[in-house]
Chains A and B, each alone.
Chain A
Amino acid sequence: MKRSLQTGLVIWTAFLVYGTAMAEFKCFYANLHAHTGYSDGESTPDTAFAHARDIALIDIQALTDHNNYTDYSISSNEYQNTRLTADTFSVPGRFLALAGQEVGRWSSTGFGHINIYDAPELLSYDYGDLLGTYQIIDKLGHPAMFNHPVPGSNDCPNFSDLRYYPDFVQAMDLLEMVNGDYIYENEYLKALNNGWQVGASANQDNHDRNWGNRINDDGRIPLTGIWADTLTKGSILEALQARRTFAWLSHPAAGRVEVSLRSDDRWQGDHYITSSSRLSFQVRARADSVAFNRIYLFTDGKISDSLVLDDRDTVWSLTREMPSGKHYFFVKTIQADTGLAWTSPLFIDVMPYDAKAKVITWPTPVVESCQIVYPPENGATNVRAVIYDVAGNKIWENNSTNPSAALNWNSRDLKGNLVPNGLYIIKIEQSGPAQTSISTGKTAVSR
C-alpha cells in the first residue's frame, strides 16, 4: 500500500461540475441472489418481492431458485410463475423484480453455482459440464454471475479454480465477491488475473424471509450497487452486462453508499483500447451518514494508490502512466464503521506506441485465442475487423458498434474450424458519420 508519487492527486471540492458529468446514470440497489420455497428457501415469489420492496426498501430483487436436478430444484411451472410475478411487481422507476435461476451443483462432480437472469425458461444443462454450461449461457446472452466462489474447496472445483476460457469471456458478467457473511476478494482478484472480465456484486443468498435486508453475523448487509439510466428491466440488465456495478457491505443504520470509478467518459466495467499511456481516473465516493476513511485504487490486482480521508462525499482524481498492455483498475472503499465497497474494474488496453504495425494481437503468436488491438479513432461508431490468410482469403469477420471495442479472435474460421498455423492479415475499419479509417496489421498462429 502506498501513495504513488507518480500520480497526481487532487481533491475536488467543486462537486457541482462533477455531479453534472455524473448525471447520466443513477445508482440503484439490488439483491441479486435469493431463494424461495420453490427451491430451498421459504415462502413464495410474491411474498419475497413484496418484502424486498416494502420492508427492505431496495430497488431491485432477483429470485434465483436452484435449477440443479435435485429434489429441491425449481420446476418449470414454478419458474414461469416467478417470471409472471416479477412482471407484476415491476414498476418502472420504483421497483424491479427479476426472475433468475441458480444453475450448477455444489459437489465434487459439479462446478459451482452460477446465477442467470431473465432467461425465458429453465435451462437444460449438464451440471458436470462447466464448458457446456458456459456455452449455453454465452448463446443465451443474458447476464450471468459466478456465485460464492469458495476457494480451495475439495467439495467443489470452484469453476475449475476460476480457470479462464477466452471463448466465454462474454458469457460471465459478475462475480459474487460478497455472499452473506463471506467476502471473496481474493477470488475476485484471481478471476480478474486469470483473464475474466467480471464486475463486482454483493448479495444475501437469502434462504429465510429476509429478502433484501438479511443482516450478517457482523451486523452488515450486502447489496449490489448498479449504475443505470432508469429503474427498468432493460436498463438494469444492460448495466449488469456492462458490469456497471459495485459490491457493497454496510451497516443498516449507515444509510446508502455510492461508489463510481471513471476514466474520462468511461465507467467501471468498460473494456476499451487507448493509444495514450497516460490514464486519468475519477473516483466518486458518497455516503449518507458515515465518512470514508480510506480509498484504494487497485491496479492489475495490487493496491497502487490510496487516499486517507474523513469525508462523506469526495472526488479523487488521479493520473497514472501505464506501460502498454492489458490493465484493470478498481476501487475499494472503507468507511469509519467498517463498511466496505468494491467497484467493478475498468479494463483498459494501452496500445504500444512503437509497435511495428498499427493492428496487433495479444498474444502473438496466437495459440488459442487473442485480442485484436488497434488505435481507436475519435468519432468512430462502428468497428469491423476482417482477417485474411496470406493468400487473401477471408477467414473471419466481426462487427461491433462499440467504438474502441476489444475484439477477440479464437483462431477459428467463419465455419468454426481451427485455422492452420501460419500468418494472417488483419484489417480494422473504424467508421463514423464523417469518415472511415482503415488500419492493418498481421499476426501469426502457432500452436
Chain B
Amino acid sequence: MRSIILFTVLLSGLVSSAPGGVMPWNQPASPAEIALSGAVLDLTSEPQGLSLNPALLAGIKWKGISSSGILWPMDIYGGSVSGVFPIAQAGAAAGISYWNYGQLDAYDRVGGRLGTIEPQTVSVLLGFGRRLYGNLSGGINLKGAVFTIGSNKDYSWCSDLAVSYDFRHLTANLQLRDLGPRYPVNDSLKYDLVKTFAAGVNRTFFKDRLAASLQINAAEYQKWHPLLGLEYSPLKAVTVRLGYDGDDNKPERSKLGLGVCFRQTGKQDYSVEYGYRSWGVLGTAQAFSLGMSF
C-alpha cells in the first residue's frame, strides 16, 4: 500500500542552449505510455514502465517480456520489445524500439523531385536498479539511438537517473532524464539535451483495485506540467486506464488517454494491452502489446 505525497519540484542550474524537438528514445514504447502519457513513473509494473523508472527495477521478483506495436498519427508507426529480470537485490531491463516515420517525397530547393525518403529510428535502452539503503532504491538507464534518413545517420546516447523511496505506505520517485552528451544537429554542431526533472507518487485504494498516480514534469525551457494516471481493475483479469497530461505545449494531442489491459494469471502471467490517445486533426495514437511474466 502506498500513500500520497506531494513534492515540490525545483529545477535550477540547468542552463544551455538546447533545441526543441523530441529525442527518439522518448517516444512511447507501450500502450500504457500512450494511455497514461508520462504518468507511468511509478504506476505500471509492465516492463516498459519499469524501464522508464529504473529505480523500481530493484524490487522486481519475476522475469517479464513484452512486445508492442504502435500506430502513430501521420502514418508513423513503431514497435518495441522490452524485458526485465531480477538479479539478487537488484533488477535489470533491456529494450529496443523501432520507429518508421513513413515515406516522404524528397525535393530540392526549387521543388524538383528527388525520389522518396523513409526516416527511421532505432533506439535501445539498458536499465539497472538496486536497493541502495534501507527503503531507498536507485537506478540508471543508458539510452542510445540512431536516426537514419537516406545515407545520413545520427548517433546519440544519454542517461537517466532515478531514486525511489518506500516508507511504510509511502512511495515517492524522483527522476532526472536525458542527461548525457550533446545531441548532434550535424557533424560539427551539437546541442545540449533538454533535461527533464520528474517527481511522482502513487497510492492504491480498495484493496489495490484502484491505483492513482500524480506526477510533475519540468523540462528545461518549458513550463512544468502535471500528469495524472488512474488504473482500475473491476476484475482481476481486467484493468482500465485513464491518463491526463497537462502539457500545454502539445495543443493537438488530447490531454486524456485511455487504455485497457487483460491478464491471465497462473504459473505464467499473460497480458494483452491497448492504449489510445487522440491527436485531433493529426490522427490518433494507438498501441497493442503482448506480455508475459514468469
Give me the interface of A with B, judged by CB distance under 8 Å.
Answer: 195, 324-326, 349-350, 352, 355-357, 360-365, 373, 386, 388-395, 413-415, 417-425, 427, 438, 440, 442-444, 446-447
A380, B247: Cα distance in complex, Å: 31
Tell whether A417 pairs with B20 under 8 Å between CB atoms, given A364-B104, A392-B250: yes
Q: Which of A349, A356, A373, A418 touches B104 (beta carbons < 8 Å)?
A: A356
* Structural contact, B191 and A393, CB atoms closer than 8 A: no
Which residue on chain A has the smallest CB distance to residue B112?
Answer: A325
Q: Chain B residues near A393 (CB, 8 Å)?
A: 20-22, 247, 249-250
Contacts of B117 in A (CB 8 A): 364-365, 444
Main secondary structure of the interface of A (DSSP, over half): strand
Q: How far is the CB of A431 from chain B (nearest CB, A)?
A: 14
Q: For the complex, give the distance between the alpha carbons of A413 and B194 in Å.
A: 13
What CA separation (Å) do A128 and B4 show in the bound complex?
63
Q: Which B residues lie within 8 Å of A324 (CB)? A: 111, 113
Sample of 12 more A-B contacts, CB < 8 Å, known A364-B105, A419-B19, A422-B24: A352-B113, A360-B105, A364-B106, A365-B117, A389-B20, A390-B22, A391-B22, A417-B18, A418-B191, A420-B23, A421-B147, A422-B22
Footprint of A on B, CB under 8 Å? 17-24, 26-27, 72-74, 76, 99, 101-113, 116-117, 119, 147, 149-150, 152, 154, 183-186, 189, 191, 221, 247, 249-253, 279, 281-282
- Shortest distance between the CB of B217 and any CB in chain A (Å): 12
B19 and A420 within 8 A (CB): yes
Q: Are B76 and A415 in contact (CB under 8 A)?
A: no
Q: Which residues of A contact B108 (CB under 8 A)?
A: 362-363
Contact: A444 with B119, CB < 8 Å?
A: yes
Neighbouring A residues of B111 by C-beta, 8 Å:
324-326, 349-350, 352, 362, 373
Which of B21, B189, B249 is in CB contact (< 8 Å) with A422? B21
Decide: A446 and B152 in contact? CB cutoff 8 A: yes
Query: Known contacts being A418-B191, A420-B19, A422-B22, is A362 close to B221, with CB within 8 Å?
Result: no
Which B residues are in CB contact (< 8 Å) with A362? 107-111
The distance in angstroms between the C-alpha atoms of A418 and B190, with both chains bound, is 10
Q: Considering the chains assembled together, what is the distance between the CA atoms of A141 and B51 in angstroms? A: 52
A417 and B250 within 8 A (CB) = no
With A352-B113, A362-B109, A364-B117 already in contact, the answer to whether A392 and B185 are too (CB < 8 A) is no
Least Cβ distance of A406 to chain B in Å?
Answer: 11
| Chain A residues positioned under 8 Å from B282 (CB to CB) | 388, 392, 425, 427, 440
Please name the residue on chain B nearest to A324 by beta carbon: B111
Contact B17 A417 (CB under 8 A): yes
Q: How far is the CA of A420 from the CA of B191 in the complex (A)?
A: 8
- Residue pairs across A and B with Cβ atoms less than 8 A apart, 14 shown, are A356-B103, A356-B105, A364-B105, A373-B111, A388-B252, A390-B101, A392-B252, A414-B20, A417-B18, A417-B191, A418-B19, A420-B185, A422-B21, A442-B102
